């Protein structure tokens, strides 16, 4: 049941908890998020926002002591990933969902050449036509500006950071997955290399007709490549909408604060303002009320007790009591 | 985030926190408590054991190689002496020698390793060649030769010799640790602030290596126990001292414990003591990392 | 004031049997740090900017050239006598997680250098306690909360502030900040940057800022000097705002072009320069070091090394200098 077109993804009320000595703590507190087929979605958040946990949930790959407590992740052509187990899950990873891990630069096996690792991957997914797989890989690497044949014959240490990152992307795509998750694709890369990688991500996305999810802490990276942007804080998606709109006219006070806290090359640099307070960790996420209220300039009484519901209007979703009255609740639009 | 914590971080409160933390770490796993109990038991036997029995130990000529009974839980030996009493009174020598060995290996090994790793250059070269030299000394043959002229009646003498033969490994390990630690930001910062070398080595480097050193020390104790018991067992050393190794030797070569059952308890009692003590130490070693790391101590 | 002239540094890379390969990290770098001023070095990783910071902070030696601190050339002193000079230049490490000793409380961390200071100035314990609190308050954290704690109990931002407070215990004249916010959460970064900026004004300390993020350089040292360094050589320098808005060296233009555009808030600049190849240390040393990657290169670039030419304010090392508008424009 290999699909050849971009799948849509619908995450509903996803709650992921981590078991700690202090009990089960929620890393994701009821997250709902839709990825429209064929788009690049960015998830921006700081450490502890739950963005990486959300990415892992798309593969049902949350590792103990974490577990998916409730909610569903529907991927077109795969069904509810949360209910997949064992062999089905293993086959889905790679075939349908490609994943480029955080620090993909360091996730290659140092003892095997890239080509050997590729063949291992093909065999583990029961690929009959291994030469075709190699040919695809060479073509993909060539597309990304590398000498495919040489790279496949290389060991990890023979490749630069930017080259390894491209190899990581190749691995995610070579089994013909149409949903690709990139976790911090450009951390630890230089500006010029970062720009090159982001361009490749965008080009390959369009050429192969993918649905792409990019997890990053860097607003600039998200702004550069994504169509739609979700901002996460304390295990919640606090704002989601088309990238230019979210950046141009942010609604949630956290998004606003975050954008203002980024020094830019254009405009008056002295307008940059720091966000007070610090992001919550797993143990300090408030049990009730809004997760952002400690740092919020718009805090009102209700924020202390009630967790704001995400409200969608004009394709933009915001979870905030203070700005919620601007929007009238409507049924969230679903991508079919 | 609570900002209600008490201020005034006096050194005393820090110390108290440390011991409270140690208690917490030990309670975290029942196995650690068992380990502590075993070690405490042996230390108790080492200190008070000889006081519990008359010296010399009574002999019962009517009960040579007696089977275990209420009067003699582990039977008696070839002279009719209670085996349990032999084990208990023999603890002191074993423990003292083990401790002396550990103190010497750790003190020498740490000092040399730190000096070599921190200063590098010429110091490093000289000290490491010295370490290589130590490591190439064949311990057993040397001990065999030494024992012809030296009787090792005092456990401290025994410990000193074993210690001088065993510090090389720790020196190498500590050196490689300090080589990697000296590149850390906080060591560089301390140098940049002009803090004296003594402060950097003692206050900054050493505490970071404490779990490592403590583990090595405990393992050195077990190693030393095996070594000395082994020497006595082989009969290399004279039978003057009351020692577990001597017991093993006499049970096997004198009592024929390997071929007859009569001397079996006599063989098993010291073996059991060694195994139990080693087990106790190994169970405690498990806690060292958490004891000396403030993060793991408190969580 | 600190003047560095012609600083060179070569690392010997352990080679094969045929001998060690020499890797030049710095190829003759000149710069000045004024009292209370801000100097920024930008460049890709491996360009030598970190080495430069460590040399200025006295943590590494240099092979050629000289550093003159308040009129005293360091080459004229024995290493032992250089120490007091370099102590006035404190390095703020990139990684606030390894810069603090995990086995020592913040109180202990600050007490050690303060004790040294107290001994020098003949002051007592009470002064030390008071000074520790004063410094923590200065860097914007609550002394009562932080002092009895271990580093792991603090956030990245707080740790970096403690690191800065520790550097301030010796009353430095220069802070060398090497990528000091890259490992801190995004919402906390600007706070630390603002602190460094604030310290410049309040304590009149100079800041040597080393980064690959030009926008942060603009925030801290917008009024200072910017040096663009490439493979151990300064290729462009000048007043920060001027270089950013009117870069003439193709490498500076490539760096600025690569900065992501915050679509929605800003628009891409009218021009864009993209290197033709990736950075490769094996590229030849003859001629302009950037030539192989430069879209505007000519035969002359590959044959002769251009030297730094100054118009009085802005300097560049390029045979074909041309201003290009590559930085994003604020959206209306």
Tens of pLDDT, residues C152-189: 888 888 899 999 999 999 999 999 999 888 888 888 88
Interface test with C, best of B177, B193, B295 (most C CBs within 10 A): B193
Query: What is the 3-class SS of C176-240, one letter each residue?
Result: EEECCCCCCCHHHHHHHHHHHHHHHHHHCCEEEEEECCHHHHHHHHCCCEEEEEECCEEEEEEEH
Judged by CB atoms closer than 8 Å, whether chains meet at C87 and B7 is answered as no
CATH code of residue A64: 3.40.50.300
Go through A60-84 and write b for each residue having 16 or more CB atoms within 10 A of its CB, e for each that does not: bebeeebebeebbbbbbebeebbeb
Does C314 reside within a domain? yes
Does C96 reside within a domain? no
Number of compact structural domains in chain A: 1
Pick the residue from chain C with its C-alpha nearest to A162. Answer: C278
What pLDDT was estimated at residue B5? 38
Does A129 reside within a domain? no
Judged by CB atoms closer than 8 Å, whether chains meet at A264 and C191 is answered as no
Is residue B112's pLDDT more than 70?
yes
Does the beta carbon of C83 lie under 8 angstroms from any beta carbon of chain B? yes
Judged by CB atoms closer than 8 Å, whether chains meet at A278 and C330 is answered as no
Q: Which two tokens stand for residue C285?
A: 């040393």
What pLDDT was estimated at residue C258? 92
Look at A327-331, C112-116, C244-248 and tell me which has the smallest mean pLDDT. Answer: A327-331
Q: What is the CA radius of gyration of chain C?
A: 21
Judged by CB atoms closer than 8 Å, whether chains meet at B294 and C95 is answered as no
Is residue C18's pLDDT more than 60?
no
CATH code of residue C293: 3.40.50.300
Mark which of C168, C189, C218 sits at the end of a domain: C168
Judged by CB atoms closer than 8 Å, whether chains meet at C185 and A193 is answered as no
Number of residues written out for chain C: 332
Asked if C311 and C270 sit in the same domain, the reply is yes
Pick the residue from chain A with its C-alpha nearest to C265. Answer: A248
Does C160 reside within a domain? yes
Asked if C56 and C188 sit in the same domain, the reply is yes
Its domain, for residue C111, covers 104-168
Is residue C135's pLDDT more than 90?
yes
Kindly report the backbone phi and psi dihedral angles of residue A65, in degrees, each rounded to the nearest multiple of 5, phi listed first.
Answer: -80, 10
**What is the rounded distance in angstroms from the CA atom of residue C31 to the CA atom of residue C308?**
12
Number of compact structural domains in chain C: 2
**Residue partners of C97: CB distance under 8 A and separation at least 6:** C151, C156, C159, C183
**What is the rounded distance in angstroms from the CA atom of residue A215 to the CA atom of residue A202?**
14
Dihedral, CA of residue B14, residue B17, residue B23 and residue B29, to nearest 10: -100
What pLDDT was estimated at residue C79? 84
CA distances from A285 to A48, A56, C141 (A): 9, 20, 21
Asked if C191 and C290 sit in the same domain, the reply is yes
Chains that touch C (3 or more CB pairs under 8 A): A, B
Go through A176-186 and write b for each residue having 16 or more CB atoms within 10 A of its CB, e for each that does not: ebbbbbbbbbb
Mean pLDDT throughout B179-188? 87
Pick the residue from chain B with its C-alpha nearest to A20. Answer: B299
Asked if C195 and C118 sit in the same domain, the reply is no
pLDDT tens readout for residues A238-289: 999 999 999 999 999 999 999 999 998 888 888 888 888 888 888 888 888 8
Binding-face residues of A in 175-204 toward C, CB within 8 A: 190-196, 198
Is residue A325's pLDDT more than 60?
no
pLDDT tens readout for residues A10-48: 999 999 999 887 888 889 998 999 999 999 999 999 888
Q: How far is CA A328 from the centre of its chain?
A: 28
What pLDDT was estimated at residue A101? 79
Q: Which two tokens stand for residue C297?
A: 């290169």
Nearest residue to C89 (alpha-carbon basis) of C170, C18, C150: C170
Is residue B7's pLDDT more than 60?
no
Judged by CB atoms closer than 8 Å, whether chains meet at C186 and A269 is answered as no
Judged by CB atoms closer than 8 Å, whether chains meet at C87 and B194 is answered as yes
Mean pLDDT throughout A182-199? 86
Report the number of secondary-structure helices (H) and strands (E) in chain C: 11, 14
Q: Which two tokens stand for residue B69?
A: 């009974």
What pLDDT was estimated at residue C230? 93
**What is the rounded distance in angstroms from the CA atom of residue C102 to the CA atom of residue B145?**
48
Asked if C27 and C111 sit in the same domain, the reply is no
What pLDDT was estimated at residue C279? 78
CA distances from B146 to B235, B237, C44 (A): 13, 10, 64
What pLDDT was estimated at residue B238? 66
Is residue B294's pLDDT more than 90?
no
Nearest residue to C50 (alpha-carbon basis) of C1, C11, C13: C11
Q: How far is CA B30 from the centre of its chain?
A: 22
What proportion of chain B, given as a percentage, has pLDDT over 90?
3
Q: What is the CA radius of gyration of chain B?
A: 23
What proportion of chain C, given as a percentage, has pLDDT over 90?
59
Q: Which two tokens stand for residue A296?
A: 């919020």
Give A219's pLDDT tier (boundaries 50, 70, 90).
very high
Chains that touch B (3 or more CB pairs under 8 A): A, C
CA distances from C36 to A220, B287, C41, C235 (A): 31, 50, 17, 25
Judged by CB atoms closer than 8 Å, whether chains meet at A265 and C222 is answered as no
Is residue C237's pLDDT more than 70?
yes
Q: What is the CA radius of gyration of chain A?
A: 20
What pLDDT was estimated at residue B239? 64
Chain C residues inside the 8 Å CB shell of B214: none
Q: How far is C214 from chain B (nearest CA, A)?
A: 25
Is residue C190's pLDDT more than 50?
yes
Chain A residues inside the 8 Å CB shell of C263: 223-224, 243-244, 247-248
Asked if C9 and C36 sit in the same domain, the reply is yes
Asked if C244 and C188 sit in the same domain, the reply is yes
Give A332's pLDDT tier (boundaries 50, 70, 90).
very low
Chain A residues inside the 8 Å CB shell of B299: 21
CA distances from B106 to B160, B181, B291, C80 (A): 12, 19, 18, 33
Judged by CB atoms closer than 8 Å, whether chains meet at B186 and C103 is answered as no
Give B163's pLDDT tier (boundaries 50, 70, 90).
confident
Does A213 reside within a domain? yes
Pick the residue from chain B with its C-alpha nearest to A278. Answer: B1
- Domain residue limits, chain B: 21-298
Chains that touch A (3 or more CB pairs under 8 A): B, C
Q: How does DSSP classify residue C261?
A: P
> Helices B264-292 and B206-234, interaxial angle, to 10°?
170
pLDDT tens readout for residues C23-67: 888 999 999 999 989 999 999 888 888 899 999 999 888 999 999
> Helices C156-168 and C106-121, interaxial angle, to 10°?
10
pLDDT tens readout for residues A77-127: 888 988 888 888 888 887 888 888 776 666 788 888 999 999 998 888 888
Kindly tell me the burial class for residue C316, based on how many C-beta atoms sit within 10 Å of its own C-beta (0-12, 13-18, 19 or more): buried
Q: Which two tokens stand for residue A230?
A: 């979700």
Give the CB-side neighbour count of residue B2, counting CA atoms within 13 A: 5
pLDDT, mean over chain A: 86
Give C68's pLDDT tier (boundaries 50, 70, 90).
very high
- Strand C206-211 and strand C174-178: the pairing is parallel
Does the beta carbon of A263 lie under 8 angstroms from any beta carbon of chain B? no
Kindly report the backbone phi and psi dihedral angles of residue A315, in degrees, each rounded to the nearest multiple of 5, phi listed first.
Answer: 65, 15
- Which CATH number, 3.40.50.2300, 1.10.3720.10, 3.40.50.720, 1.10.420.10, labels domain B21-298? 1.10.3720.10
Is residue C261's pLDDT more than 60?
yes
Asked if C109 and C21 sit in the same domain, the reply is no
Is residue C164 within 8 Å of residue C139, measured between CB atoms? Answer: yes
Give A176's pLDDT tier (boundaries 50, 70, 90).
confident
Nearest residue to C212 (alpha-carbon basis) of A220, B21, A175: A220
Does C94 reside within a domain? no
Interface test with C, best of B178, B192, B297, B299 (most C CBs within 10 A): B192
Does C93 reside within a domain? no
Q: How far is A266 from chain C (nearest CA, A)?
A: 5
pLDDT tens readout for residues C119-128: 988 898 999 9
Q: Which two tokens stand for residue B180?
A: 């990697």
From the list B8, B189, B204, which residue is nearest C93 (CB)? Answer: B189
pLDDT tens readout for residues B57-75: 777 777 666 677 777 777 7
Q: How far is A221 from chain C (nearest CA, A)?
A: 6
Give A162's pLDDT tier (boundaries 50, 70, 90).
confident
Does the beta carbon of A89 lie under 8 angstroms from any beta carbon of chain C? no
Q: How far is C21 from chain B (nearest CA, A)?
A: 21
Does the beta carbon of A227 lie under 8 angstroms from any beta carbon of chain C? no
Mean pLDDT throughout A184-204? 86
Does C112 reside within a domain? yes
Q: How far is C81 from chain B (nearest CA, A)?
A: 12
What pLDDT was estimated at residue C97? 85
What pLDDT was estimated at residue B92? 84
Q: Which helix (H) or strand (E) holds C6?
A: strand C2-16
- Strand C64-69 and strand C174-178: the pairing is unpaired
**What is the rounded distance in angstroms from the CA atom of residue B155 to the CA atom of residue B100?**
8
Nearest residue to A225 (alpha-carbon basis) of A186, A189, A252: A186
Asked if C84 and C147 sit in the same domain, the reply is no
**What is the rounded distance in angstroms from the CA atom of residue C176 to the CA atom of residue C222?**
16
CA distances from B174 to A319, B116, B171, B207 (A): 54, 9, 5, 12
What proportion of chain A, given as a percentage, has pLDDT over 70?
94
Kindly report the backbone phi and psi dihedral angles of residue C87, in degrees, each rounded to the nearest multiple of 5, phi listed first.
Answer: -65, -25
Does C97 reside within a domain? no
Higher-pLDDT residue of B226 and C3 is C3
Look at A144-148, B255-259, C243-247 and tell me which has the smallest mean pLDDT. Answer: B255-259
- Strand A236-242 and strand A316-318: the pairing is antiparallel
Q: How far is C279 from chain A (nearest CA, A)?
A: 9
Nearest residue to A284 (alpha-carbon basis) of A6, A47, A33: A47
Nearest residue to C9 (alpha-carbon basis) of C67, C56, C48: C48
**Residue partners of A213: CB distance under 8 A and separation at least 6:** A9, A35, A40, A41, A42, A43, A55, A58, A179, A180, A181, A182
Binding-face residues of C in 158-217 toward B, CB within 8 A: 163, 166-167, 169-170
Is residue C297's pLDDT more than 70?
yes
Q: How far is B28 from chain A (nearest CA, A)?
A: 11
Does the beta carbon of A284 lie under 8 angstroms from any beta carbon of chain B? yes
From the list C189, C218, C331, which residue is nearest A248 (CB)? Answer: C331
Q: Which two tokens stand for residue B206?
A: 């050493």
Does C43 reside within a domain? yes
From the list B193, B295, B298, which residue is nearest C87 (CB)? Answer: B193
**Residue partners of C47: CB distance under 8 A and separation at least 6:** C229, C230, C231, C232
Its domain, for residue A50, covers 9-96+177-324
């Amino acid at each position: 049941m290999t699909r050849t077109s971009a799948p849509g993804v619908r995450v509903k009320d996803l709650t992921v908890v981590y078991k700690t000595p202090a009990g089960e703590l929620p890393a994701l507190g009821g997250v709902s998020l839709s990825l429209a087929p064929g788009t690049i979605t960015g998830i921006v958040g700081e450490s502890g926002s739950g963005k990486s946990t959300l990415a892992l949930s798309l593969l049902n790959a949350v590792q103990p002591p974490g577990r998916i407590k409730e909610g569903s992740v529907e991927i077109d052509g795969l069904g509810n990933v949360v209910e997949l187990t064992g062999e089905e899950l293993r086959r889905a990873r790679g075939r349908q969902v490609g994943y480029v891990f955080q620090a993909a630069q360091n996730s290659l096996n140092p003892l095997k050449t890239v080509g050997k690792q590729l063949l291992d991957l093909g065999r583990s997914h029961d690929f009959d036509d291994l030469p075709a797989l190699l040919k695809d890989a060479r073509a993909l690497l060539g597309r990304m500006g590398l000498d495919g044949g040489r790279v496949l014959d290389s060991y990890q240490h023979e490749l630069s950071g930017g080259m390894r990152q491209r190899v990581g992307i190749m691995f995610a795509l070579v089994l013909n997955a149409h949903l690709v998750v990139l976790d911090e694709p450009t951390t630890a890369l230089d500006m010029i290399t970062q720009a090159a990688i982001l361009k490749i991500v965008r080009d390959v996305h369009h050429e192969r007709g993918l649905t792409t999810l990019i997890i990053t802490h860097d607003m600039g990276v998200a702004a550069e490549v994504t169509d739609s942007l979700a901002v996460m804080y304390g295990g919640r998606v606090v704002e989601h909408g088309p990238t230019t709109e979210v950046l141009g006219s942010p609604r949630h006070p956290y998004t606003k604060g975050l954008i203002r806290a980024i020094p830019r090359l254009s405009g008056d640099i002295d307008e940059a303002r720091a966000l007070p307070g610090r992001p919550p960790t797993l143990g300090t996420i408030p049990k009730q009320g809004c997760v952002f209220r400690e740092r919020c300039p718009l805090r009102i009484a209700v924020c202390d007790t009630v967790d704001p519901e995400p409200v969608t209007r004009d394709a933009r979703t915001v979870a905030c009591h203070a700005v919620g009255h601007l929007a009238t609740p409507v049924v969230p639009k679903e991508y079919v | 985030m609570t900002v209600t914590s008490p201020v005034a971080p006096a050194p005393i409160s820090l110390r108290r926190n440390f011991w409270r933390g140690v208690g917490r770490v030990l309670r975290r796993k029942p196995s650690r408590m068992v380990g502590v109990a075993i070690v405490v038991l042996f230390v108790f036997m080492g200190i008070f054991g000889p006081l519990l029995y008359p010296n010399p130990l009574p002999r019962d000529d009517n009960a040579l190689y007696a089977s275990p009974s209420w009067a003699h839980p582990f039977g008696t030996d070839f002279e009719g002496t209670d085996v349990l009493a032999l084990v208990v009174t023999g603890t002191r020598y074993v423990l003292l020698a083990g401790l002396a060995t550990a103190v010497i290996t750790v003190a020498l090994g740490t000092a040399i390793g730190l000096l070599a790793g921190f200063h590098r250059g010429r110091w490093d070269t000289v000290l490491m060649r010295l370490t290589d030299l130590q490591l190439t000394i064949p311990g057993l043959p040397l001990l065999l030769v030494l024992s012809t002229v030296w009787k090792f009646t005092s456990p401290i003498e025994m410990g000193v010799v074993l210690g001088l033969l065993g510090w090389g490994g720790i020196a190498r390990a500590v050196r490689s640790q300090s080589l990697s630690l000296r590149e850390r930001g906080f060591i560089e910062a301390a140098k940049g602030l002009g803090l004296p070398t003594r402060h950097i080595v003692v206050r900054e480097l050493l505490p970071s290596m404490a779990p490592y050193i403590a583990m090595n020390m405990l393992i050195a104790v077990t190693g030393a126990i095996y070594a000395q018991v082994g020497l006595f067992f082989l009969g290399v050393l004279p039978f003057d001292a009351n020692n577990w190794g001597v017991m093993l030797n006499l049970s096997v070569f004198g009592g024929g414990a390997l071929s007859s059952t009569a001397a079996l308890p006599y063989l098993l009692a010291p073996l059991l003591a060694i195994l139990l003590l080693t087990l106790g130490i190994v169970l405690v070693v498990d806690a060292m990392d958490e004891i000396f790391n403030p993060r793991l101590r408190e969580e | 004031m600190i003047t560095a002239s012609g600083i060179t540094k070569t690392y010997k890379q352990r080679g094969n049997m045929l001998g060690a390969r020499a890797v030049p990290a710095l190829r003759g770098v000149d710069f000045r740090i004024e009292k209370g001023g801000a100097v920024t070095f930008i460049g890709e990783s491996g360009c030598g900017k970190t080495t430069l910071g460590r040399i200025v902070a006295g943590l590494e030696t240099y092979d050629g050239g000289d550093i003159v601190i308040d009129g005293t050339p360091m080459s004229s002193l024995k290493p032992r006598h250089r120490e007091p000079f370099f102590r006035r230049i404190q390095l703020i490490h990139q990684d606030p997680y390894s810069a603090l000793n995990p086995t020592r409380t913040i109180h202990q961390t600050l007490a050690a250098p303060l004790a040294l200071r107290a001994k020098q100035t003949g002051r007592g314990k009470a002064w030390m306690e008071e000074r520790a609190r004063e410094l923590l308050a200065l860097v914007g954290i609550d002394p009562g909360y932080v002092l009895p704690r271990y580093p792991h109990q603090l956030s990245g931002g707080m740790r970096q502030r403690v690191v800065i407070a520790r550097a301030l215990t010796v009353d430095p004249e220069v802070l060398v900040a090497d990528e000091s916010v890259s490992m801190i959460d995004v919402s906390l970064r600007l706070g630390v940057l603002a602190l460094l900026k604030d310290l410049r004004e309040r304590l009149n300390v100079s800041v040597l800022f080393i980064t690959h993020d030009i926008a942060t350089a603009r925030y801290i040292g917008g009024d200072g000097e910017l040096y663009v360094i490439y493979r151990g050589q300064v290729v462009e320098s000048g007043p920060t705002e001027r270089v950013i808005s009117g870069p003439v060296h193709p490498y500076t233009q490539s760096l600025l072009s690569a900065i992501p555009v915050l679509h929605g808030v800003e628009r891409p600049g009218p021009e864009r320069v993209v290197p033709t190849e990736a950075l490769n240390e094996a590229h030849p040393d003859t001629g302009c070091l950037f030539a192989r990657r430069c879209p505007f290169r000519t035969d002359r670039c590959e044959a002769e090394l251009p030297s730094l030419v100054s118009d009085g304010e802005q300097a560049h090392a390029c045979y074909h200098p041309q201003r290009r508008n590559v930085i994003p424009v604020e959206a209306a």
